[in-house]
Structure 1
Amino acid sequence: MCGINGVISNQKISNLADIISAMNEKLIHRGPDGKGVWINEEQNIGLGHTRLSILDLSSLGSQPMRSSSFRYVITFNGEIYNFLELKIRHNISCKGNSDTEVLIELIEKYGVEETLKLIDGMFSFAIWDKSKNKLTISRDRLGEKPLYYGWIGKKFVFSSDLEPFYEFSDWSKEIDKEALFFYQSDGYIPAPKSIFKDIKKLNPGHYLELNLNQLDKKITSEKKFWDLEDIFFKQEENMTLAESKYQFEELLNNSVKQRMISDVPIGAFLSGGTDSSLIVSLMQKNSIKPINTFTIGTKNKKFNEADQARNISKLLNTNHSELYIDEKEIIKLSSIVFNTYGEPFADSSQIPTYLVSKLASESVKVVLSGDAGDELFGGYKRYIAAKDIWLINKFLPKPMRNYLSIFLRNDTSKNYLNSLLNTRVISKYSNASNKMNKIDRFIKLLTEDNFEKFYRLLASTSMGENYLNYDFQMDFTKKRNTGSVLKEALFFDLKYYLPDDILTKVDRASMQHSLEVRSPFLSKELVEWSASIPLKYKISRGKQKIIPKKALEKYLNKEIIYKEKKGFAVPISDWLNGPLKEMTDDILNSKSFLESESWNTKKVIESWENHKKEISDNGRLIWSILNFEKWNDKRKSNFQ
């Protein structure tokens, strides 16, 4: 894993080498093992790279790297897992043993677009074609690796992070109001948006070409090399559960073996859930010595899975390390986490992710994780909820649902619903952590007819409320007639939630500790196969992740496998009323917040007071606002 950046312009850039070097310094946490700069002053282009050495630790793996003909120069971040296979199959001759060299020689042979179809991995890269005066940037299929880009004056700038953009004094740093609206709703900012108006995230599975002779036009249209929607909504194949299970085990085992290739020590995150337990089981199967595993725990029993992870590590005979979160350190931890992300980000599991990455980095440089198992095989409770509630919406006429919604809003009806919270329809959905929040969300969901709007509300941080000083109408006009609510929900999470929340969280937290995280569930072959199997092998009759759990039965007993998962979460609502209470009061009563141009401060403070009095659980909302305010303080400081 590394950091990449670069600048290209059709006008002379003074001190270009110094600018690229300064950008590299902002990415040193992503690659502490080496820094590289390549400059072509005649064509006003510079590429930068910070290196985390994983494969081919010699200088032959250093970047930016030139192709054998000197036609191409590349700066690359990530891993190509099938590079050895491609090297042999396509007769690629290399001086060293790095995947980057195989990649650039494949591009030399076949061009960028054809090469992108061949490679399987997590990556973002930029490559300069000297013969065509063309720069191409690209990002992997599911968005494991980040890549930001935009125009600052006459300069096209790109980077793995937003921090290097601050090196340009002529950058406006203007907040994108639409992006902030998404953030206050979801807790993250979906691609192609970033928090800044003039900076975008390159969409997963896309590439972008810039011709030096056409820079004046500022044309930056992205092109797809892989289409998640086409793959995900193709017709399911006819196969038995036994066939599906066998194929799944083969594909995942091959993916794990590929991702275990490393010239440095390797380990795994172990949360105690199905996905990480299955990954560790397969790693141990393919290793001659105990695998290093890492877990974070909390003293709050409602959220703690460290005991389960410890038991699994004993059964699998791993070399296990665990760390418990010290609530006395939460204020300090929060301040560190606020500065880990280049834009506002409010998934509170960023705290344990940061800590488990720190713990692992003390022993290894690479870990495997179970990320994407939930999105591919239906692990979230909200999938069942979406199906149940959408069924009500489909069969009850809209006027009747509107009337029901109004009727349920009175206190008597809410209290009655409260008594029914053990029923499947209400209790098994949403991220709301107290009963009344779930009831309020359920009432709002009853009136929604557009599935994307419905599903966003189901997973929303803000309960569908607007806490900003302005309104924004999202475009919900696009519809698919798939006939499957579960398919739509899984697709939404793979397109937005996985890359812009889960993978963003893991990438930034791990890179703060120069740790590479690899996700075997995200192999190209496995993702495409998962879209083809019958949906009933993922979710059926209230059972979830059916195939992964069946596969895990080979390694662990059923009592462990089918125990209800608590999720990789923290008691953020409790912390806000505990160790974070004074800090939150200070921020929400500060002059800078009360004079905010973004927030409806009166409404926010009312929600905070209700949270403190335990009238409603507004923990996720308050946490998202704290993250934004701390980030915004840092943004403002860069104006000075």
Structure 2
Amino acid sequence: MCGIWATFGVDGVLSFTYVKCFSKIRHRGPDAWRIEQDAREPLIILGFQRLSIVDGLHGMQPMRLHCYPRTTLICNGEIYNCKRLQEQHDFPYETKCDVEAIIHMCHRFGIEETVKNLDGVFAFCLVDGEKRKVYVARDPYGVRPLFIFQDTEAQVMGLCSEGKGLMGMKQNGGENSTLGQFPPGHFQVYSILENGKVKLDYTKQYFTPGKPPQFVPFVPEDKLAKMDLNEKIAHLLEAACRKRLMSDRRIGCLLSGGLDSSLITALVVKLAKECNLPYKIQTFAIGMGDSPDLIAARAVADYLGTEHHEVKFDENDVRESLDNVIYHLESFDITTIRASLGMYLLSKYIKENTDTTVVFSGEGADEVAQGYIYFRDAPSETAAHKESIRLLSDIYMYDGLRADRTTSAFSLELRVPFLDIQFTHHYLSIDPKLRQPQNGVEKHLLRNSFAKSGLLPDSILWRHKEAFSDGVASLKKSLFTTIGEVIAERSIDEDAQYPGVQPKTTEAKYYRSIFEKSFPRQHNFIPYYWMPKWVQVSDPSARFITHYAAK
């Protein structure tokens, strides 16, 4: 996890003004920073905030190689098949940094073949001074964030890992200028014009959820062909964890005690022992009072023998953190903000009290494996499958965004194995009927795939679904009730009118008012409020769904 930032086509005083916005993403990379202006292209400025995970200063960016001196790369990401690409194509690597593969791939095969052949998560910008081209791309599920500012009339562009680093450009941009997220699974090509401005050549989508990998897969397909369905699912998820262990920094796991985080933790602990990591895996759980998550996470940690940390928070922590959470999220979505509070406070604890920097989590499982309770009400297996694809297509604006921003706020790097390309492809290609909830149990297929593994106790493997924002709260008092009490202490304009999706409750109006302070008129960041489908509820909390039975 790092932070990238760039401006194209800006000159004069405004250029200096925008550079000051570069510091807005300092939290993403506290280890080192660099900002450069190309001597031959003075209207191109590239910046990088580094969180050192693999390699030392040789991996510093903006990155240039001796064999391609006119090419410059900034990238926030991890390329898990970097060594395999080197072996396949005999690339003359100059660093130990995995993203170096992007430069070699682009020069050898072009941008489209490059993004299709990267097994990893990434948001990058590559400037080819010889061809006078700029290439921008984002990973398939948008695990790594990327925002883009465009003013086509002025032929100006800006890029940043977070929207806050480009708000200065937007506020000074033309009437038709835009600022929003760069779409996952896409790449763009720009031409650098003679006057130093940039012009978009074209945009192309190279990935849709469930698409098979076009790179050489981590697990050979002929090996998978010999496995039964459950064995294949378990093997692919373990492989997704294995490839994500690459790190020179300490690895830990976010552990709620639910199925998703518990499975990932169990696999990471198993692999850490096999790889002889020189430390115990640390696990981290958070909750209020008699939180169900704290109790369940404690049981998992005891079973796995991890170095476990419990964090308890109360209404005062909510009171102090709520506005900061909204600022870091760059969102006014109700579900996202509620679910982010606990993760934000837990990340703060990890940063201030431990030496863990890389954290694994279970994001993506609910989308891939139909884990939300409302999937029990799907009218058909086809509708349920389409809903999985929709959720995965938009995860970068909701759960994916939450996971990235709450951890990056405290300079942690997130790893999410459930969004592995080979795993999601195989899981989503299974008969849709088998992927639906069975006998009132969501993610039945996933659970059953690990039933004989001994990785987890049955009480955890078959634990009822618990939404994160509900699970961290007391059994007697929900988190959204506590949030409501905190908001009631504050004054808001109930009659305020906003463009875009309309807030209807006092809670939603408060979130929107805080959002507007830092991101005025950027309602496009959130196109709709996340809500369960096929059920009639007025609040997104799982506690309002008839099937809710978590304990």
- Residue matched to 1:330: 318
Report deviation, 1:217. Answer: 8.8
Residues in 1 aligned to 2:170 and 2:434: alpha-carbon distance in whole angstroms:
54
Residues in 2 aligned to 1:144 and 1:600: alpha-carbon distance in whole angstroms:
24
Match of 1:484 among 356, 379, 382: 382
Aligned positions of 1:13-52 closer than 5 A: 13-14=11-12, 18=16, 21-43=19-41, 44-52=43-51
Report deviation, 1:172. Answer: 4.9
Contact 2:258/2:465 (CA < 8 Å) preserved in 1? yes
- Sort the Cα spacing of 1:216 and 1:290 in 2 relative to 1 into closer, same or farther, 3 A: closer
- Residue matched to 1:280: 265
Residues in 1 aligned to 2:340 and 2:368: alpha-carbon distance in whole angstroms:
21
- Sort the Cα spacing of 1:312 and 1:510 in 2 relative to 1 into closer, same or farther, 3 A: same
Deviations 1:404-434 (A, max 9, x none): xxxxxxxxxxxxxxxxxxxxxxxxxxxxxxx
Report deviation, 1:150. Answer: 2.2
Residues in 1 aligned to 2:177 and 2:376: alpha-carbon distance in whole angstroms:
37
- Residue matched to 1:137: 136
Match of 1:634 among 492, 513, 518: 518
Q: What SS does structure 2 have at the residue aligned with 1:5?
A: strand
- The letter for the 2-side match of 1:503 is G
Report deviation, 1:8. Answer: 1.4
Report deviation, 1:343. Answer: 4.3
- The letter for the 2-side match of 1:2 is C
- Residue matched to 1:521: 418
Report deviation, 1:116. Answer: 1.0
- Residue matched to 2:541: none
Q: What SS does structure 1 have at the residue aligned with 2:386?
A: helix
Aligned positions of 1:435-584 closer than 5 A: 484-496=382-394, 498-539=395-436, 540-553=438-451, 554=453, 555-570=455-470, 571-583=478-490
Residues in 2 aligned to 1:306 and 1:173: alpha-carbon distance in whole angstroms:
50
Report deviation, 1:386. Answer: 2.5
- Sort the Cα spacing of 1:537 and 1:359 in 2 relative to 1 into closer, same or farther, 3 A: farther
- The letter for the 2-side match of 1:525 is Q
Aligned positions of 1:405-424 closer than 5 A: none
Residues in 1 aligned to 2:183 and 2:203: alpha-carbon distance in whole angstroms:
8
- Residue matched to 2:309: 321
Q: What SS does structure 2 have at the residue aligned with 1:268?
A: strand
Deviations 1:535-560 (A, max 9, x none): 23322343321232123332123233
Q: What SS does structure 2 have at the residue aligned with 1:335?
A: helix
Contact 1:274/1:552 (CA < 8 Å) preserved in 2? no
Contact 1:20/1:47 (CA < 8 Å) preserved in 2? no
Deviations 1:95-124 (A, max 9, x none): 221112222222222222111111111110
Report deviation, 1:316. Answer: 0.7
Report deviation, 1:219. Answer: 3.7
Match of 1:587 among 480, 483, 492: 492
Residues in 2 aligned to 1:162 and 1:122: alpha-carbon distance in whole angstroms:
19
- Sort the Cα spacing of 1:560 and 1:82 in 2 relative to 1 into closer, same or farther, 3 A: same
- Sort the Cα spacing of 1:626 and 1:119 in 2 relative to 1 into closer, same or farther, 3 A: same
Contact 1:30/1:511 (CA < 8 Å) preserved in 2? yes
Q: What SS does structure 1 have at the residue aligned with 2:172?
A: coil
Aligned positions of 1:185-196 closer than 5 A: none
Aligned positions of 1:281-320 closer than 5 A: 281-288=266-273, 289-299=279-289, 301=291, 304-320=292-308
- Residue matched to 2:157: 156
Deviations 1:361-383 (A, max 9, x none): 33211011111111111111111
- Sort the Cα spacing of 1:217 and 1:635 in 2 relative to 1 into closer, same or farther, 3 A: closer
Contact 1:5/1:47 (CA < 8 Å) preserved in 2? yes
Q: What SS does structure 2 have at the residue aligned with 1:22?
A: helix
Instruction: Specify every segment of 5 or more residues in structure 2 that has no aligned partner in the other structure, as ranges.
Output: 214-223, 274-278, 471-477, 523-551
Aligned positions of 1:359-438 closer than 5 A: 359-361=349-351, 362-363=353-354, 364-387=356-379
- Residue matched to 2:2: 2
Residues in 2 aligned to 1:59 and 1:386: alpha-carbon distance in whole angstroms:
51
- The letter for the 1-side match of 2:444 is I
- Sort the Cα spacing of 1:137 and 1:340 in 2 relative to 1 into closer, same or farther, 3 A: same
Residues in 2 aligned to 1:116 and 1:577: alpha-carbon distance in whole angstroms:
44
- The letter for the 2-side match of 1:89 is Q
- The letter for the 1-side match of 2:308 is H
Residues in 1 aligned to 2:120 and 2:211: alpha-carbon distance in whole angstroms:
20
Report deviation, 1:197. Answer: 6.6
Residues in 2 aligned to 1:227 and 1:600: alpha-carbon distance in whole angstroms:
26
- The farther-off stretch of 213-222 and 91-100 is 213-222
- The letter for the 1-side match of 2:203 is E
Q: Give the TM-score, by structure 2 length.
A: 0.82
- Sort the Cα spacing of 1:224 and 1:168 in 2 relative to 1 into closer, same or farther, 3 A: closer
Contact 2:193/2:199 (CA < 8 Å) preserved in 1? no
Contact 1:17/1:39 (CA < 8 Å) preserved in 2? no
Q: Give the TM-score, by structure 1 length.
A: 0.71
Report deviation, 1:42. Answer: 3.8
Report deviation, 1:580. Answer: 3.1
Residues in 2 aligned to 1:173 and 1:379: alpha-carbon distance in whole angstroms:
43
- Residue matched to 2:542: none
Match of 1:351 among 335, 341, 363: 341
Residues in 1 aligned to 2:323 and 2:293: alpha-carbon distance in whole angstroms:
25
- The letter for the 2-side match of 1:78 is G
- Residue matched to 1:147: 146
Instruction: Specify every segment of 5 or more residues in structure 1 that has no aligned partner in the other structure, as ranges.
Output: 175-195, 233-238, 392-482, 608-620
- The farther-off stretch of 550-559 and 140-149 is 550-559
Over the aligned positions, Cα root-mean-square deviation in angstroms equals: 2.9
